[in-house]
Amino acid sequence: MIIFWYLCRAMNRFYLFISVFMCSLTALAEDTDTNTVRDLLAETEVAFEASGTASTGDYAPLWLTSNRYGLASVEPFSTYERVLAQRLIEHDEARRWGIGYGLDAAIAFGHTRHFVLEQAYVEGRYRKLKLTLGAKQQPVETKDIELTSGGLSLGANARPIPQVRLDIDWFAMPGTRGWWQWKLYGSYGMMTDGRWQKEWNDGTGRYTRHVLYHEKALYWRFGRTDILPLTYELGLQMASQFGGTTYYGSSRGNTEMRHSTNLKAFWNALICQGSDETDGLNPNTAGNTVGSYVMALTYHGNGWQARAYWERMFEDQSMLTVQYGIRDMLIGGEVTLPRNRCVSKVAVEYLTSTNQSGAVYHDRSPNIYDKMNGRDNYYNHGLYTGWQNYGLAIGNPLFTSPLYNKVFGHEGILQFYNNRIKAWHVAATGDPSPEWHWRVMATLSRNWGTYNIPFDDRYRQGHLLGEVTYRPRWGDGWQTTLGLGLDHGHIIGNSAGAQLTISKRLKMKK
């Protein structure tokens, strides 16, 4: 009740602000003679959202905080008040050109930052080409973000990274009559969590600042649903951290190491070449590179759909080919049922990451002529602080994020201490009526730690989530979501909690 009262009070305060803001924009639109400006303002959506989480244990239940683009806290008690103004570029689907923009900010308590600039972007599209400038929440390919445990290399668990991104949307390969389609994108950006890393660091470990970021992907799709109700998708995703400066704490004499940011560094990130200062006579790929092969096979039924998907992760050059076999992967399936009042969609996933190219790693030497690329140590790196942003895994949240490192006795150290995992994950959603929506998720994992620092036993951890959303007909744009979460196990401990989120969406009028 205390959380509900607090959220309602905050809603009244911010609702007044949003109303005045929208009236000002409407007046501006009426004063101009440009119909295009009126259309842009009319399609702008303004929203306010307030959320509060309360739980037992040292941390909030995992599924109350994960896969929310970093706008959540692992702390047992947290709140935020959020204001979003955006225009979706999808409003211009019928036009050759399109314009989209968004500004999304929150005041938070119990989070890594009191002020969170979640999104700030502008994007433009001409035909199949789209250019995005800024930080924007991007979708997770081949998976339903509401049901999945998350992508392995790229996901929705951490805050978006500011980037300059160029997309080429689906287009048909000439001569294939639409049976073979392509989609690709590439981007460069910069990590913004350097100051937070310095503050959160315990003084003995390392942190980084001004680290650059690169991301690219290529997807193929085969099939035409107007002829055959079966499509197959194949893709390659890659991303890397490079440049910037690594700072070492007192354990290394408070030293620093600057990494190259010249044009060659940008080129090496694009083609996955180069080397780091510490590679010596055995150069590896420059920076911290991760990637995934993804596949999906979809059957499009009459009013229903079934999809099977698969993702295989790789670090640096290890597992880029099948030299070490295919042992680590995420494999899943989801079914969208015909319209009914009970269950709308069901998903099942299995994740295994225990192999990591094997337990042996050594470079070539005068005595050993064959190089073994084992011990990939997923999400960790020797120079950078790993595949995280503001302490949360950029990929799958089942890889225990550094924000939880207190349970491993390494609070303040930016490193992943649990990346060898096997897990089962099931989830379902339903829409009993236009007003009601529900979601349930259940995950059970077995955890071995890492090759370098293994657990003394195989630890189990379970995560449960039950969530109900109410969109009243009498309250246009209002939405209330209540989530109940439960964790039990030896990784992030036992916890039970509740999360209440209230939001109001408003659309500009012509």
Give 151-176 pLDDT, tens digit per residue. 999 999 999 999 999 999 999 999 99
CATH number at residue 231: 2.40.160
Question: Is 492 in contact with 407 (CB distance < 8 Å)?
Answer: yes
Q: State pLDDT tens for residues 401-429.
A: 999 999 999 988 999 999 999 999 999 99
**First-last CA distance in the chain:** 39
Mean pLDDT of 466-481: 94
DSSP state of 34: -
Beta strand spans in 89-144 (E): 97-109, 115-126, 129-135
For residue 41, what is the enclosing H or E element? helix 35-42
Which strands make up the sheet holding 256-258, listed edge to edge? 206-209, 245-248, 256-258
6 vs 171, residue with greater confidence = 171
Question: Is 470 in contact with 433 (CB distance < 8 Å)?
Answer: no
Give the max Cα distance, the chain. 80
Answer positive or negative: Cα dihedral of 34, 37, 43, 48.
Answer: negative
147: in domain: yes
115: in domain: no
Say what the pTM is: 0.90
How many domains does one find in the chain?
A: 1
Question: What is the phi/psi pair of residue 455, to 5°?
Answer: -70, 155
Confidence of residue 13 (pLDDT cuts 50, 70, 90): very low
44: in domain: no
236: in domain: yes
Q: Which amino acid is at 50?
A: A
Question: Is 159 in contact with 390 (CB distance < 8 Å)?
Answer: yes
Mean pLDDT of 450-477: 95
Give the domain extent around 442: 59-69+137-492
Cβ neighbours of 494 (radius 10 Å):
16
Cβ neighbours of 337 (radius 10 Å):
17
State the chain's mean pLDDT as an integer: 89
What is the predicted pLDDT for the residue at 510?
Answer: 57
386: in domain: yes
What is the predicted pLDDT for the residue at 31?
Answer: 45
Q: State pLDDT tens for residues 290-306.
A: 999 999 999 999 999 99
